[in-house]
Structure 1
């Protein structure tokens, strides 16, 4: 810490506007703040943009750039540099001012370390052509840790700078077990920011900034004491066995592997469509063939619905998919993700309810009971009867 000088910061407009959310741009190896600050010109004008120079000169970028994995010396450097960065950040963005991180390459690893160390401190993160700090980095990487945090992920399918194994682990974690609401893009190309990625990043950020203006940041991470599941035996959600299925990373979000047998899908729909006060019909938000569950007389909060205007609180996807989308309160959403039953939707907390989840289709009768219990909890949420 004592070896680090005060941060060198480039502001996109020449100065900060503390009345606006802050977006911090973090450069990669061989670059500096004067290059990455130019990205701000392609991003929404509703934020204030700062680019921060890496404090360690060797290598020309953030020294924990994880192209060979992370070892103890690098982990110690990461911890010290995060503390250095947080001292600066907490001065320019005290509690109450939303902060979004956008890191490229080595800066992506640093941004990942920051959000994993303290998820609730940040309102979003863009991990661009880089890896999270895995191995011995000293930051927690467990299931559900980033629930409630919108994340934008971009990678190149011919990136030979970052090892493929690290890119794959980063992609899989952020798009599944982390609980983050993941907007993701894969480019045909290598280790460089493309125009298409810049356009999608700007769109994602515009929606997130608009959400923050309307609604504020909301909870992030695992709840210390989940309220429990009144719709499941013992009030507890068991762990799902096996790996998470493969899920399509673009809209429409759909389950691609390990899908539910058709007869179980029908049994599940029969059970759910028979819940009190529920009507069924074509979903108002999903793909053709998806069956919506609507509670016309429900009086729960808008966040309890996928489409609040028509009170659609869940829907079941067509037979080739068999997964469901539901809306749950934050603590139950995080628990469902951590136990392996669900993952966040890419629009959660960006365009739609923060508790917007995909629940994987049941593979056997025991899982049918559990999945039905999860959806029944969303039904109670719609009527304001949870907690």
Structure 2
């Protein structure tokens, strides 16, 4: 049985009543502290749950294995995503969180993992703010799950060489086809968390009223 001890993580309780929990998923080479400033900027006062990916690649933390850059080990992604979903469920019990008010936010590898959580574990989350995410189940059509209660913000770089804009748009299409309410923000940059994207995401979060 998965417990909160199974992932190195940081948990920061909410400082404002009635706020959701932000699940923060770092990018390749980062750790559980990397996206805490993003969480505080995106949803001031919300609880923050920020685990560390358990896969290492050349000494860098990741959420799942890949064959090479841009090519995922999809079976490992599926298994690691299930493990992460179990951790989040355990954390809701340990930290007395509302399981119906968890929003994932991630960058790059973490954003792809957040997208996989939406498609593979649709009842785990109520929303997502993902930066530089693409369709995670490469070459596979996700199951026809019901995402009608999910709100999603996607930020993508038009010149991103790692997560191409076509992959970002494919993810948006997959989510919309399953009923999610998706708001897309495309910026002219590359593989980064653009400042203007954060501004757009903060506005989206406030309007979403999770």
Q: If the TM-score is normalised by the length of the shorter chain, which range does it land in?
A: 0.7 to 0.9
Q: How does 1:131-146 map to 2 (within 5 A)?
A: 131-135=134-138, 140-142=142-144, 145-146=146-147
Is residue 132–residue 191 contact of structure 2 (8 Å, CA) maintained in 1? yes
Report the equivalent of 1:103.
Answer: 106
TM-score between the two structures when normalised by the length of structure 2: 0.81
Q: Which residue of the partner structure matches residue 119 of structure 2?
A: 116
What's 1:57 paired with? Answer: 56
CA separation of 1:189 and 1:6: change in aligned 2, threshold 3 A: same
Q: 1:134 to 1:78 in 2, by over 3 A?
A: closer
Q: Which moved more, 1:89-98 or 1:195-204?
A: 89-98
Tell me which residue corresponds to 2:191: 191
TM-score normalised over the length of structure 1: 0.46
Report SS of the residue matched to 1:40.
Answer: helix
The alignment partner of 2:185 has SS state of: strand
**What is the match of residue 68 of structure 1?**
70
Instruction: List aligned pairs for 1:320-359, cutoff 5 A.
Output: none
Structure 2 Cα separation of the partners of residues 55 and 112 of structure 1: 18
Structure-1 separation of matches of 2:165 and 2:39: 29
Looking at structure 2, the residues matched to 168 and 205 of structure 1 have their Cα atoms a distance apart, in angstroms, of 21
The 3-state SS of whatever aligns with 1:196 is helix
Q: How many angstroms does 1:23 deviate by?
A: 0.5
| Equivalence map 1:223-302=2 (5 Å) | none
In angstroms, what is the RMSD of aligned CA positions? 2.7
Structure 1 CA distance, aligned partners of 2:115 and 2:199? 22
Aligned residue pairs total 199
CA distance in structure 1 between the partners assigned to 2:138 and 2:42 by the alignment: 33
Alpha-carbon offset, residue 184 of structure 1:
1.3
Match of 1:34, SS state, is coil
Q: Do the aligned partners of residues 17 and 41 (structure 1) sit closer, same or farther apart at CA in structure 2, a change above 3 Å counting? A: closer
Partners of 1:132 and 1:170 within 8 A in 2: yes
- For residue 16 of structure 1, what is the aligned residue in structure 2? 13
Aligned to 1:218: none
Distance, in Å, in 2 between the alignment partners of 1:40 and 1:75 is: 28
Task: Could you tell me which runs of 5 or more consecutive residues in structure 2 were left unpaired when the two chains were aligned.
Answer: none
* CA deviations over 1:280-308 (Å, ceiling 9, x no partner): xxxxxxxxxxxxxxxxxxxxxxxxxxxxx
Q: CA–CA distance in 1 between the matches of 2:197 and 2:164? A: 20
1:259-297 Cα shifts (integer Å, max 9, x gaps): xxxxxxxxxxxxxxxxxxxxxxxxxxxxxxxxxxxxxxx
SS of 1:121 mapped into structure 2: coil
Change (3 A) 1:88 1:136: same
- Distance change (3 Å), C-alpha of 1:69 and 1:166: farther
User: Corresponding residue for 2:26?
Assistant: 27
Q: Distance in 1 between matches of 2:137 and 2:86?
A: 24
- Are the equivalent residues in 2 in contact too, given 1:105–1:128 (CA < 8 A)? yes
- The answer (yes or no) to whether the contact 1:93–1:99 under 8 Å persists in 2 is no
